[in-house]
């Protein structure tokens, strides 16, 4: 399959997020819990997300996934408890928007990693997935996910 992969440059974006170590089987519950607690906190503050929610993957160890789940916000907001203030770093990103089930995203990552090497870049090892909708809203075949791989 052909994927439309582009190189984008962006500035740092402030976020509120929760970072956890979990296994892949618990990931959907952890994501739901993190997004729920962040949204509850933002509602208490009268704030709204600036963009769609994301999950950052710091490793690919399926039994000990190091993930950060959060929302970009319009300005720096203080964290509370396990909710931390942070940022998605600025810089160059290989980006690709994928439509379909999360379980079928491996070829997207393979194509993106090949593209990165072909273009003379090096992936940093972190990946971001931005979720424009959810399985609760649309069929799996209609899920829209933007994959962002920071490169140097």
Domains of the chain and any CATH numbers: 5-151 (3.20.80.10)
Q: How confident is the model at residue 2 (pLDDT cuts 50, 70, 90)?
A: confident
**Helix ranges restricted to H, the chain:** 27-45, 106-118
pLDDT > 90? residue 4:
yes
**How high does pLDDT run on average in the chain?**
96
pLDDT tens digits, one per residue of 38-60: 999 999 999 999 999 999 999 98
Question: Residue 1's closest CA among 150, 149, 109?
Answer: 109
Is residue 42 within 8 A of residue 48, CB to CB? The reply is yes
Distance CA 74, CA 5 (A): 27
pLDDT > 90? residue 142:
yes
pTM summary value: 0.94
Edge-to-edge strand ranges of the sheet holding 127-131: 5-10, 91-99, 144-151, 127-131, 54-57, 65-72, 13-22, 84-88
pLDDT > 90? residue 1:
no
pLDDT tens digits, one per residue of 108-137: 999 999 999 999 999 999 999 999 999 989
Distance CA 71, CA 149 (A): 17
pLDDT at 30: 96
pLDDT tens digits, one per residue of 63-105: 999 999 999 999 999 999 999 999 999 999 999 999 999 999 9
């Amino acid at each position: 399959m052909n994927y439309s992969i582009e190189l984008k440059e962006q500035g740092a974006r402030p976020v509120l997020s929760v970072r956890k170590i979990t296994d892949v089987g618990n990931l959907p519950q952890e994501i739901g819990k993190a997004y729920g607690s962040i949204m509850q906190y933002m509602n208490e503050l009268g704030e709204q997300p600036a963009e769609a929610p994301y999950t950052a993957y710091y490793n690919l160890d399926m039994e000990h996934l190091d993930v950060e789940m959060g929302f970009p916000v319009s300005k720096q907001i203080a964290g509370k408890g396990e909710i931390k203030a942070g940022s998605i770093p600025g810089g160059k990103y290989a980006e690709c928007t994928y439509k379909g089930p999360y379980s079928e995203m491996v070829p997207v990552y393979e194509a993106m990693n090949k593209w990165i090497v072909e273009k003379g870049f090096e992936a940093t090892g972190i990946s971001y997935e931005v979720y424009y909708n959810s399985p609760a809203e649309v069929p799996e075949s209609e899920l829209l996910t933007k994959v962002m791989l920071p490169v140097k």
